Every structure is written in C-alpha cells, then in structure tokens.
Structure 1
Amino acid sequence: MKVVKELHITTMTNIRIDKLAKKAKESRELALASSTSDQPLLTGTNSTTCRHICFINANLPEELQEDRRWSKQMLPTLLMWAGSFPDPWAIPDLELMTALRIIMTSLVSDFNSHVCPGMPTFMLATWQLGLWHSNFSSTAITLIAHFLASDPDDDAQSATAVRWTCNELIDGLLSFLYQDLDATNLAHAYQSHFILQLFAHAHLWPCIRCPDIPGLGTNAMKKHAVRGVLSLCAAAVHNSLSVIDLQF
C-alpha cells in the first residue's frame, strides 16, 4: 500500500512511533527479568494483608527443574497447546490442569506432584500464558511501527498519513489480514505480512522445542491447530493499529 504524504513533513511521527516500540520492548524485558529473579516477588495492594507470593522457577518440583525441563520442554508444549485452544484468552482452570498433568506425566513418568490453582506449577503456567498474550501486543506494535516508519525516501511520515494508513488497514474489509493487503481475495486471509511475522515471532519461536506429547496430539497441533493463535494475532494487530492511530 502506498502511503500518501503531505508537503510539510516533520520528524515527530518517527519519534512517536519509536517511543511506542521502545516502551513495548522495555515492558517485555522487565517481565523477562522478573522471571529470572532469585527471590519470590511480592505483589498486591498497599495493605500487607493483601500481599501474595508470585512463585519463581526455583519453587517448581525438582523433576521439572532438572535439565531445565520446565523452560525447554514444558513451556513450549504448553504454548503449543494454548495456541490450539478455541479461546486462548479464557482457558478454564480444569482444562489447564488436565493439560499440565498430561505434559508432565509424559515428560516425567513418575511425576506425582499436585497441579492445581495456588500451586507453583499452575501459577507459573498461568503467568507464562499471560506473558505469551502480552508478547503478541508488544511484537505487533513493533512490526507496525517499523512498517509505518519505513520509507523509500528516508523521510518521516506526517501524522495525517499515519492516521490515514491505520484507518485504511482496520476499517471496512480489514485489509491488514490479507496478503498484499488485498481484501478481495479471501483465499489469502490471515496471510498478511503483519499476521505471518507476528505468528512466527510470538508463537512459533517460543514453541520451537515442543516435544511430541501423544496425549495432547502435539504433532497434529503443529500442522493444523492454530485457531487461537490466529485470533490472538488478528486482535493484537487490530488493537495496535487503533492505539497508534490515537497517538496522532
């Protein structure tokens, strides 16, 4: 899509876009840093009676810490499964507990630790799913910021041009979903640069070490079960375009 420019162009557009991308990157780095802390994190309200402990990897059962099994095998499998879930925003506790038990007993045959809300394994799994959700948004903002800031003439786009581009992408036929931004070809839905890049970076990369778990059918998931992931990608791109549009 060719973006129409105005005659008077300033550098403010790129500055604003860069700030959005930088803020998204910083929030992601902060979340990752907190996950590697050696001490449990205390969060909650100002009242000390409302504070609760956020578990860290050191609180996991030893079987899951051995050979970094949690990060190398458990989490990739969990995210692969979550991406196949029809509604990845609201996975019922029972479904999550069942999936975690299947994964853990497949990886550790004699695993017998409890998996339920409030326990380290369950709480760290839900935290990781939340981080997975947020990564879609931060990555989408970065991709769109790069798209809007890139220009063959090395000039910054005007605020009007950015608003026009965002509106063109999200209004009406939702062209941001289609290859070459051509919404007339339904066969190319969910094949746009935005969706494919986001799908690769936010989902495929974290799932790259997913082992074969027959109880979950992970091999079939790798080929066909991406309904939840595509919905996350579409929502993240749409919301990111809307947020950037509001900045100008």
Structure 2
Amino acid sequence: MISDGNDAEDGAVGADPSLDARHADKMAKKKAARDRIMATKSGEKGLIIVHTGAGKGKSSSAFGMIVRCVAHGFPCAVVQFIKGAWDTGERRLLTGHFGDLCQFHAMGEGFTWETQDRARDIAAAQAGWEKAKQLISDPSLRMVVLDEINIALRYDYLAVADVVEFLTTSKPPMTHVVLTGRNAKEELIEIADLVTEMTLVKHPFRSGIKAQPGVEF
C-alpha cells in the first residue's frame, strides 16, 4: 500500500468510536442543560445597553444591532454625539438605503480636541440629548443608539443624573437604548441591563496606521 504521508491526519478525526460516543453523550447533556435554562427565560423588556472600554468595537457593535433591527423591519434611530462631522460608512448606509426605518441624527461636531470650544461642545451635546429624549419617548421605535454619549458624559457636557433619571423613569418599557463610548459613568453602569467592556490588546494606530474607511468609519 502506498502512503501519501498523511496517514496520521487521515485517521485523526473520527477514528475512535468510543471517543465519538463520549463526545455525543457530553454534547447531549450540555444541550439538555441549556434547554432547561432557556425554558426559564421567557420574559422580554427594553434593555439599557452600555458598550464601553478602551478597545475598538463599541460603536460597531451598536450599529450591528441597528442593522438587525432594520433587517427585522423594526423602526429605530441613531443619535451621534461626537462623530457628527465625520462621513461614516454606517451613516451612508442607513440614510441612503434605510431612511424609512432608521432615523439618523448627527449632532456632534467632532472630538473635543478638534472643536477646542467647550461652550460649543456643551451646546451640541445638549441638543443631542434633547433629540435623544424625543426619540426614546416614541414607543414606535424599537431601538435608539446614543453613539459616543459616554464621552459627552465624561466631560460633563451632560449631567449623568439627568440621563439616568430619564432612562429609568421615562423610557418606554419595550424600547432598547444603546449607549457607547469609553469611560462609562458608574451611575450608568449601575442601571444598565447589559454592559460590555471592550479591552484593548493591540491597535494599528500605535504602529503608525491611520483610521481607515471600512474599519474605523
């Protein structure tokens, strides 16, 4: 018999019936346990979701959920607190193809070090929050993303107490609100139903690579 030199690889998978049987039994038990857990999860509610941390992916994750809403035909909205001056891919997509389902409000004028005008930044953040409250109060909207609002809160352009009070007392019960940006306030984390912290491991910016279309915007 002539060997092609890959005998070990050819017989590595599925060669041990007892191993396959143990694996099948283990997976069956895991599925049964998961089914029992899922059977207890029948409730639904509008979630307060926070994406924070130094790593990339906070806004990207939020826009991924907006795309899901659009795919399901759910009306939704986005308020951008910082990146309003940017021509982003998500803005092009949502306004150009799904404007009937997703309202997009770019209220910011850029990062604070770009404007260098605190009063102007505060005014833009306040205008963004007023628009956000209007949108969140509309029960026909399934989801509202407040992109980079955590930055506005970090610099005290908005009062976190006002944001927390509104979300806990005035948000319709089935409306999801997603708040993004690093350095989320503890008060916001406390009331959130879902908090994810993006951890920075490596970033191309540190190697001299600039922000690129399709990756950052």
For the aligned pair, the TM-score class normalised by the smaller chain equals: under 0.3
**Structure (1 or 2) with the larger CA radius of gyration:** 2
TM-score normalised by L of structure 2: 0.24
Higher strand share: 2
